[in-house]
């Protein structure tokens, strides 16, 4: 239950960040903001299909030919999400992607009308009215997206540039932390082996004479002293690493904020 609440809280924060950035990018263009809110992802590397765009389109076409219009609609939408993202990553192929996206928008409108007709036939009068209203709204968004494709790709490119930078910063931060954790684990293993070695030496000292015992104890104390010094050095390194991490995160955050102000 607690994990679900924390996940929900995290998702809410992510959605709030997405809305804030989109508002900055779209300015007073409320319609563009409304449409893009439905098509852009907080983390495109997670939300957008990993399948090749051509495969996604072929799969959607197959469902359409089989008259599985509900499934075809979902597949066309996934293909459109993919096409928009790829267009932002390959500006040199912008013209080609514009044609692909507009074609997908047209086909999604077509299949949405068919899904709407099916929903009207299957449901009650109230359900049919609600379905018609919902699908008409979707159709208008697809039409708007196709008509304003230049603006859509311009804002999507800025949006995804920021989001990918955030994802990259997060991954770099986690990599640095994992590197520190590995170093700590290695040092802990060294300490553990040193402890086992000292314990074995204590058992051996029970078989030694008085002089040998005294010499062994002196050597053991020296080793313990060195181990303590290593622990202190690790703690110091850890504190310095944390300060450096905070500095790096602060600089990355300031750079993102500066870019956002420029965009706004």
Contact 83, 55 (CB under 8 A): no
99 and 75 assigned to the same domain: yes
* pLDDT digits 0-9 by tens, 122-167: 765 555 566 677 788 889 999 999 999 999 999 999 999 999 988 8
Please provide residue 43's backbone torsions phi and psi, each rounded to the nearest 5 degrees: -130, 95
153 and 63 assigned to the same domain: yes
Decide if 68 is inside a domain. yes
Decide if 26 is inside a domain. yes
State the Cα–Cα distance between residues 232 and 230, nearest whole angstrom: 5
Decide if 4 is inside a domain. no
Which residues make Cβ contacts (< 8 Å) with residue 59, sequence separation at least 6? 51, 75
* pLDDT digits 0-9 by tens, 183-240: 777 777 777 776 666 666 655 655 555 555 565 566 666 766 777 777 777 777 767 7
Which residues make Cβ contacts (< 8 Å) with residue 14, sequence separation at least 6? 42, 43
94 and 172 assigned to the same domain: no
- Please tell me the predicted confidence (pLDDT) of residue 50: 94
What stretch of H or E contains 251?
A: helix 210-263
Among 146, 163, 180, give the residue marking a domain's end: 163
Decide if 7 is inside a domain. no
For residue 120, give the nearest of 62, 69, 59 by alpha carbon.
69
State the Cα–Cα distance between residues 201 and 195, nearest whole angstrom: 10
174 and 189 assigned to the same domain: yes
114 and 56 assigned to the same domain: yes
Contact 233, 190 (CB under 8 A): no
Say whether pLDDT at 6 is over 60: no
Contact 153, 88 (CB under 8 A): yes
29 and 148 assigned to the same domain: yes
47 and 156 assigned to the same domain: yes
- Please tell me the predicted confidence (pLDDT) of residue 253: 63
Angle at 240 between CA 250 and CA 238, to 5 degrees: 115
Tokens at 30, concatenated: 């409320």
Say whether 57 sits in a helix, a strand or coil. helix
102 and 84 assigned to the same domain: yes
172 and 132 assigned to the same domain: no
Tokens at 251, concatenated: 């600089």
How many Cα neighbours within 13 Å face the side chain of 240?
A: 6
50 and 71 assigned to the same domain: yes
Of residues 33 and 255, the one with the higher pLDDT is 33
Decide if 226 is inside a domain. yes
Number of domains in the chain: 2
In terms of phi and psi (left: phi > 0; alpha: psi -120 to 50; beta: otherwise), the region of 102 is alpha
- Please tell me the predicted confidence (pLDDT) of residue 180: 76
* pLDDT digits 0-9 by tens, 91-127: 999 999 999 999 999 999 999 999 988 888 876 555 5
- Please tell me the predicted confidence (pLDDT) of residue 77: 95
- Please tell me the predicted confidence (pLDDT) of residue 218: 61
Decide if 6 is inside a domain. no
Among 130, 163, 196, give the residue marking a domain's end: 163
Q: 172 is in which domain, residue-wise?
A: 168-263
103 and 149 assigned to the same domain: yes
Among 148, 163, 178, give the residue marking a domain's end: 163
Decide if 83 is inside a domain. yes
Contact 120, 136 (CB under 8 A): no
97 and 213 assigned to the same domain: no
* pLDDT digits 0-9 by tens, 36-70: 998 899 999 999 999 999 999 999 999 999 999 99
Decide if 2 is inside a domain. no
State the Cα–Cα distance between residues 81 and 84, nearest whole angstrom: 5
**Burial environment of residue 81 by CB neighbours within 10 A (0 to 12, 13 to 18, 19 or more):** buried
């Amino acid at each position: 239950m607690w994990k679900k609440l924390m996940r929900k809280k995290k998702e809410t924060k992510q959605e709030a960040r997405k809305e804030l950035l989109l508002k900055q990018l779209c300015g007073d263009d409320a319609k563009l903001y409304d449409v893009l809110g439905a098509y852009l992802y907080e983390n495109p590397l997670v939300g957008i299909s990993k399948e090749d765009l051509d495969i996604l389109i072929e799969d959607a076409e197959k469902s359409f030919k089989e008259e599985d219009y509900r499934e075809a609609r979902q597949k066309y939408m996934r293909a459109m999400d993919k096409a928009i993202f790829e267009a932002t990553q390959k500006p040199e192929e912008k013209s080609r992607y514009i044609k692909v996206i507009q074609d997908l928008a047209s086909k999604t409108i077509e299949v949405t009308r068919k899904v709407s007709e099916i929903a009207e036939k299957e449901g009650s009068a109230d359900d049919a009215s609600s379905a018609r209203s919902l699908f008409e709204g979707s159709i208008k968004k697809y039409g708007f997206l196709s008509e304003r494709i230049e603006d859509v790709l311009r804002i999507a490119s800025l949006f995804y540039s920021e989001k990918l930078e955030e994802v990259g910063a997060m991954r770099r931060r986690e990599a640095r932390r994992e590197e520190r954790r590995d170093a700590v684990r290695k040092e802990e293993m060294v300490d553990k082996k040193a402890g086992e070695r000292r314990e074995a030496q204590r058992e051996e000292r029970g078989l030694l004479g008085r002089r040998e015992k005294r010499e062994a104890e002196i050597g053991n104390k020296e080793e313990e002293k060195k181990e303590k010094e290593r622990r202190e050095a690790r703690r110091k390194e850890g504190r310095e690493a944390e300060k450096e991490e905070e500095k790096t995160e602060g600089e990355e955050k300031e750079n993102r904020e500066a870019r956002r102000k420029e965009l706004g």
